[in-house]
Amino acid sequence: MIHPSAIIDPAARLGKNVSIGAFSIIGADVSIGDDCWIGPHVVISGPATIGRENRIFQFSSIGEAPQDLKYAGETTTLEVGDRNVIREYVTLNRGTVGGIGKTSIGSDNLFMAYCHVAHDCVIGNHCVFANAASLAGHVEVGDHAILGGFTSVHQFSHIGAHAFCGLGSVVTQDIPPYTIAAGERVKTSGINKEGLKRRGFSTELIAALHKSFRLLLRSKHSREEVLAELNALTEQYPEVDYFVQFVIQSKRGIAR
């Protein structure tokens, strides 16, 4: 299961049935869970924890030091969940002491070739990062979000759950959950209705989210008036409450 040319530090911890390809390097303070497949020419540096059943393809760099000029060799970490697919040339960096001290990635995500996740990012579960999608530091991405190819996300931006960013989007502000956004300076155009239908959202819930989007981000009424009108929907649907709270708590502002 481990190619003779692979270099594995004695301090690394490997689970059961781990496969490591030719010329891959596993550093100290790296923990790899059961049933992971590590292709050839992969470098995994520690401290880093990799969960179960992950597939990491050739030429990926996982857990390397953050690309932050303030970083001075402090101990920080990368945490990766289970069943992620990490394709060719993907780079996942550790956190910084100026951030949360770790980069955190959930489970069941797909990172296509050339994606980059910088220091202190927090990524949920079931996300898709198409080719060359890149996150600067301190970015948060919610569950089931999709980033189109060559999407670039500014540091400290927040992308909500089930959001969809189109090809080549430049994200400099927050993208609310359940919405679709695109553009060189990204703009949120509406609720991602088709995507939500495919994920089993009811017609009534999608209509409630659409109303929330229209009132919060398109209406000329005051925020107090809008929140009062949405009160019944936020009590009925947790998803609407999440959408509303995301918008009103945004620190970078919403990409309208």
Catalytic residues: 119-120, 137
Q: Residue 89 contacts by C-beta under 8 Å, 6 or more apart in sequence?
A: 59, 60, 113, 114
Helix %, strand %, coil % for the chain, to 5? Answer: 20, 30, 55
d(CA 144, CA 131): 17
Q: How far is CA 175 from CA 55, 98, 158, 189, 213, in A?
A: 29, 24, 6, 10, 12
Q: Is the peptide bond before 177 cis (omega within 30 degrees of 0)?
A: no
d(CA 86, CA 22): 17
**Residue found by looking up tokens 């409450």 in the block:** 241
